[in-house]
Structure 1
C-alpha cells in the first residue's frame, strides 16, 4: 500500500494555518479590488475538492489504498479553500464566499474511466502548481503571495502522489491492466499537453462532468463569475504560451519516465497512443 508512506511524508511537511502564514505582514496598500476578487473565486474553486472526492470514492470503490489517500488529498485541498477564505475574513470580509456560493459547486460528476480520471487529476495538479506560482508573482501583497507559494507546493506534492498510483497501475495489476493504463494515461496526456491549441483552460474544474446539467456542468460555470478563469489567466496572472509550455513539458517528462519512453512533444505521445491502440485492437 502507498497510503501509509504518503501519509507520513505529507504529515512531515504539512503547514499550519495559524502559525506558518505570515498574517502580520499584511499590507493593505498592496491589495487591489481586482486581486481580492480573484482570491474569492479561487477559494470557491478549491471547495470543489468536495464533489471530486465523492467522485473518487465512488469510482475507486475497489481500491481501498487510493481511497484512503483521498483522506489526505481532501483535507489539504479543503485547507487551501479555508486559508483563502481566512485571508478574506481578516482583510476583505465583504468578499468571503457564502455557504450558498460554496454549495453550488457541489454537484454529482458522471462516472468516468477511473484510470483516465487519475491521469486527468495528475495533470490538473501540475497545472495548478504552475497557475499558483504565477499568481504568487502577480500579487503584490506579501501575505497572499506567501499563501499562493504554499498551496503551489502542496499541488506539486499531490501530483507526485497521483504519479505513484499511476506507476502502481502499470506494474502491480497484471500486464493486460498495465496496457490499458498506458493507453488511458497517453490518451489524457495528449489532451492535457496540447492545451496551447485550445481556447479553454484545461483543468478538471473547467471540464464538463454531468450530461444532465449541460452546459452548466463545470465547476467554473457555478461560480458567481463563470468567466473569471480565462480573464485571470490571460489578463491578470498572464499565463502565456511560455508558462503553458512549462506545464506540457512537465507532463511529458513524467510520462516519459513512467512509460520508459521519450516524449518531446504531444505528437510523440499521440503516436505512442495510436500504437498502443492498435496493439489492443482485436486481430
Structure 2
C-alpha cells in the first residue's frame, strides 16, 4: 500500500493556516481590485476538489489504497480553497464567495476510464504548480504571495503522489497503463495546438449538462481563467514550456524512454497502440 507512506510524508509537510501564514504582514496598498477578484475565482475553483473526490471514490471502489489517499488530497485541496477565502474574509470580505457560488461547481462527472483520469489529474497538478508559482510572482501583496507559494508546493507534492500510483499502475497493468498515460500526456502537453490551457477544471465532464459542464463554465465569470493567464500573471510560452517539460520528463522516467518533444511522445503512443 502507498497510503501509509504518503500520509507520513505529506503530514510532515503540512502547514497550519493560523500559524504558518503571515497574516500580520498584509499591505492593503499592494492589492488591487482586479487581483482580489482573481483570488475569489481561484478559491471557487479549488472548491471543485469536492466533485472530483466524489468521482475518484466512485470510479475506484475496488482500490481502497488509492481511495484512502483521497482523504489526504481532498483535505489539502479544500484547505486551499479555505485559505484563499480566509484571505478575502479578512481583507476583502465583500468578495468572499457565497455558499451558492461554491455549490455551483459541485456537479456529477460522467464515469471515465480511471487510468486516463489518474494521468489527467497528475498533469493538472504539474500545471497548477506552475500557475500558482507564477501567481506568487505576479502579486505584490506579501500575504497572498506567501499563500500562492505555499499552494504551489502542495500541488507539486500531490503530483508526486499521483506519480507513485501511476508507477504502481504500470507494474499491475503494463501496456494498458502505458497507453492510457501516453494518450493523456500527448493531449495535456499539446495546449498550443488546442489553443487553450488544458486542465481538469476546463475540460467537459458531463455530456447531459454540455456546454455548462466544466468547472470554469460554472464560475461567476466563466472567462476569467484565460484572462488571468494571458493578461495578468502572463503565463507565457516559457512558463508553458515548464509544464510540458515536467510532463515529458516524468513520462520518460515512467516509460524508460526519452521524450524531449510531444512529437516523440506521440510516436511512442502510436507504437503502443499498434502493438
* TM-score normalized by the length of structure 1: 0.97
Deviation at 1:86, TM superposition (A): 0.1
Question: Which whole-Å CA distance do the structure 2 matches of 1:33 and 1:86 have between them?
Answer: 17
What residue is the counterpart of 1:85 in the other structure?
A: 85
Deviation at 1:199, TM superposition (A): 1.9
Question: Which whole-Å CA distance do the structure 1 matches of 2:195 and 2:22 have between them?
Answer: 37
What residue is the counterpart of 1:143 in the other structure?
A: 143
What residue is the counterpart of 1:205 in the other structure?
A: 201
Tell me the secondary structure at the aligned position of residue 221 of structure 2: coil
What residue is the counterpart of 2:211 in the other structure?
A: 215
Question: Which whole-Å CA distance do the structure 2 matches of 1:198 and 1:231 have between them?
Answer: 17
Deviation at 1:193, TM superposition (A): 1.1
1:268 paired with 2:255, answer: no
Query: After superposition, where does 1:161-176 map in structure 2 within 5 Å?
Result: 161-171=161-171, 173=172
1:9 paired with 2:16, answer: no
What residue is the counterpart of 1:191 in the other structure?
A: 187
Deviation at 1:194, TM superposition (A): 1.2
Deviation at 1:198, TM superposition (A): 2.1
Question: Which whole-Å CA distance do the structure 2 matches of 1:262 and 1:44 have between them?
Answer: 38
Question: Which whole-Å CA distance do the structure 1 matches of 2:174 and 2:78 have between them?
Answer: 32
Question: Which whole-Å CA distance do the structure 2 matches of 1:204 and 1:151 have between them?
Answer: 17
Deviation at 1:178, TM superposition (A): 1.3
Deviations 1:53-92 (A, max 9, x none): 0000001111100000000000000000000000000000
Deviations 1:210-232 (A, max 9, x none): 00000000000000000000000
What residue is the counterpart of 1:256 in the other structure?
A: 252
Over 4 Å off, 4+ runs: none
Tell me the secondary structure at the aligned position of residue 264 of structure 1: coil
Deviation at 1:15, TM superposition (A): 0.1
Question: Which whole-Å CA distance do the structure 1 matches of 2:135 and 2:259 have between them?
Answer: 29
Query: After superposition, where does 1:1-283 map in structure 2 within 5 Å?
Result: 1-171=1-171, 173=172, 177-279=173-275
Deviation at 1:38, TM superposition (A): 0.1
Tell me the secondary structure at the aligned position of residue 42 of structure 1: helix
Question: Which whole-Å CA distance do the structure 2 matches of 1:258 and 1:196 have between them?
Answer: 24
- Gaps in structure 2 of 5+ consecutive residues: none
